[in-house]
Structure 1
């Protein structure tokens, strides 16, 4: 088993080229039933359009090829998402004769980008860019790749200009600017606060990735960059140092031997009565929890009871500490990245992979037990806080 894995630097980085497209269907179905693809035609679906484009850029970060994403709300109410990744492929494909870029934007496809090592995707798994194009009144894509700048324009999913090679450049990356179709969406006004909150979340989950957001309606820039990842996220959830039971927070990560599951955990107890818990799968917030959350909670309760008995905080006749007492005052973030996530329900907010349950349990049992044994003073303070909660 490889500990402290880093999915952004996999051992073998595959090339990203025209051979990764598998056609499913055209875009007319998206315009007929947009809610099936982005959840709604209200504000939630409007913001999902942005998340799908940003998700492509995050995938480039996970492949080790991008470390910055710049998002701009333009004065006309449109959106521009730019990254410094490899740039979408522009080569022509046989026998169809279209560029890979055009196929990516006009056909629903699966697995269009290799997920080097993990093959993870936080969006619609290769469908996202085509869906965004279909639901935009206009879209412009600008690619810097293969020594040149390339551009192409679209309207409602249909190309209106050919892919055009522009001036030479040594830069690389993709910029996609789009205007949501007002005939489809109930509102086309973005919430700066909603977008900023999600981008900060992504920055926490992908340490080292910088995401900036600028609102030109008027200008209101913000930049999220958290090198400490989930530890910084827990600090964000626990902003009052006097209430902390222990410092610093507990953090650990691990990937399985097959490099198909990567687990990150950060956690910290405070004297506050409520729990603050966040779980994610491939950077998608799993509001309904699922296998990874169940694995964490199961292991956590078992470990606390085992440690309390080993250290004689509990006698043989004492009942086990309840899960509710263990979780009181706990701020925790659990993030998993999986090769093949299985989400339950159309909202994609509950993870169903049983292997995630088993592996999260294994990782938590190993690392949290080791932390408690190596930090007896902090561990004793945590157990006292939990026991006070169970009797309170």
Structure 2
């Protein structure tokens, strides 16, 4: 069918760029215009501050829910250049707030992506009825204000300062979002998770929305994955394995590092939390490798100690997993994910590396704790019978 018969040609195409494109299709950039997207707004702004801290350029990150419905994110890093070109190699302030960042997908092993796809504060600016930025740099405070992605003031000096860093505050546009009410608990869950997975991270979340009822939570966990397992197990039945089995390793075959912690409790539920470059995952080669290693180590110990006869079939991973709480985190130079949502890790070498490391460390632990190991094997055998 020709353009002449349909009356349709290139003049009918609508091309949207910049903030207009973001406001037209917000779900493409932050996941949705509902609660999920609203909270991703916070994560997109906090992303830069968190990575400043992890890179050693800042010591703390503070996220505050303000009484007037806004969110303020502050760090004590070096700030950003004021000029558009970014004389120090990074983006200038206006570029940071008006240009799309590197975008979908995590970077190297040391980078953390908090939000939907890491597009940065530009998207938040476009979807906010108001945004303000304050840069503290080289003894001077600089400020600028935006409305729905468009600058309403020029960058201007606002006095002197003895510190450094940047503060970005924003107020979501209620013309875009179904709700503008942030959930303290939802934000806390993600920040807590990040702090467990990145020991250097120190985040303070403050809620000042209700006069006289301010609350706050600090997320800093030097114990890493071991602390994460203890948190997940806080309300479960008494543990069979008294302390978490925890270790870290680096393997050039997978071009990355891993941190693993796990233990068994009297619960019948399995809780396996996995992450790739600090992103939550729902499966993949790191999970498969972990299960391989646990299953091989438990079966090898059971047969060596004659707790499992040579003619008996292997103890199945599902039986071994009963009551298991585990955190499996890998940080890779080049993570490969199956699907656009980055929910399943695909790097094949990770399965082999993880399986071998888990089998070795759990096997050593079982040999060194024969009484607890025997109780564990007995519990697995009873699960098989039922």
Calculate the TM-score normalised by the size of structure 2.
0.85
**For residue 175 of structure 2, what is the aligned residue in structure 1?**
183
Is the aligned partner of 1:81 residue 2:73? yes
Indicate if the aligned counterparts of 1:226 and 1:232 stay in contact, CA closer than 8 A. yes
**CA displacement 1:165-202 (0-9 Å, x = unmatched):** 44343423222111111111111111122222222222
Q: Quickly say closer, same or farther: Cα 1:117–1:266, change in 2 above 3 A.
A: closer
Q: Give 3-state SS (helix, strand or coil) of 2:33's partner.
A: coil
**Contact 1:204–1:229, Cα closer than 8 Å, also in 2:** yes
Does structure 1 residue 368 correspond to structure 2 residue 362? yes
Partner of 2:33: 41
Q: How many residues align?
A: 364
Query: Following TM superposition, by how much is the alpha carbon of 1:291 offset from its aligned partner in structure 2, in angstroms?
Result: 2.5
Deviation at 1:363, TM superposition (A): 2.9
Deviation at 1:259, TM superposition (A): 9.1
Residues of 1 paired with 2:333 and 2:383: CA distance?
A: 39
Residue 40 of structure 1: how far off its partner (Å): 0.9
Equivalent of residue 326 in structure 1, options 320, 336, 343: 320
- 1:39 and 1:347 in contact (8 A); partners too: no
Aligned to 1:311: 305
Q: How far apart are residue 332 of structure 1 and its match?
A: 0.6
- CA distance change for structure 1 residues 86 and 296 in 2, over 3 Å: closer, same or farther? farther
1:259-338 to structure 2, matched below 5 A, reads: 260-286=255-281, 288-338=282-332
Q: Give 1 or 2 for the bigger CA radius of gyration.
A: 2
Local SS of the residue matching 1:80: strand
**Partner Cα separation in structure 2 for residue 363 and residue 129 of structure 1:** 39
Distance 2:150 2:255 in 1: 37
Query: CA-to-partner distance for each residue in 1:191-223, whole Å, 9 max, x for gaps?
Result: 122222222222222224222222122122222
Change (3 A) 1:153 1:313: same
Q: C-alpha distance in 2, partners of 1:144/1:378?
A: 56
Are residues 1:162 and 2:154 paired?
yes
Instruction: Please say if residues 133 and 154 of structure 1, whose CA atoms lie closer than 8 Å, have aligned partners that are also in contact.
Output: yes
User: CA contact under 8 A between 2:335 and 2:345: conserved in structure 1?
Assistant: yes
Contact 1:245 1:385 in 2 (8 A): no
Match of 1:118 in 2: 110
Deviates more, 1:75-84 or 1:147-156: 147-156
| Structure 1 gaps, min length 5 | 1-24
What secondary structure is seen at the aligned counterpart in 2 of 1:263?
strand
- Give yes or no for contact 2:111–2:277 (8 Å, CA) kept in 1: no
Partner of residue 383 from structure 1, selected from 357, 361, 377: 377
Aligned to 2:97: 105
Corresponding position of 1:225: 220
Aligned 8 A contact 2:145 2:151 in 1: yes
> Could you give the per-residue CA deviations for residues 312-370 of structure 1, whole angstroms, max 9, x where no partner exists?
22121010001111110001111122233334334333333334334333432333333
SS of residue paired to 1:82: strand
- Does 2:143 match 1:151? yes
Q: How many angstroms apart in 1 are the aligned matches of 2:203 and 2:21?
A: 32
Partner of 2:9: none
Provide Cα deviations, 1:47-103, integer angstroms capped at 9, x if missing partner. Answer: 1111222222222232123342211111111111112233234344189xx962221
Q: Secondary structure at the match of 1:27?
A: helix
**Aligned residue in 1 for 2:201:** 209
For residue 389 of structure 1, report the CA deviation from its aligned partner.
Answer: 2.2
Question: For the Cα contact (< 8 Å) 1:27–1:107, is it kept in 2?
Answer: no
Distance 1:87 1:380, change over 3 A: farther
C-alpha change, 1:90 and 1:353, in structure 2 (3 Å) is farther
CA distance in 1, matches of 2:59, 2:379: 40
CA RMSD of aligned residues (A): 2.8
Runs of at least 5 residues in structure 2 that lack an aligned partner in the other structure: 1-16
Q: Separation in 2 of the partners of 1:158 and 1:123? A: 22
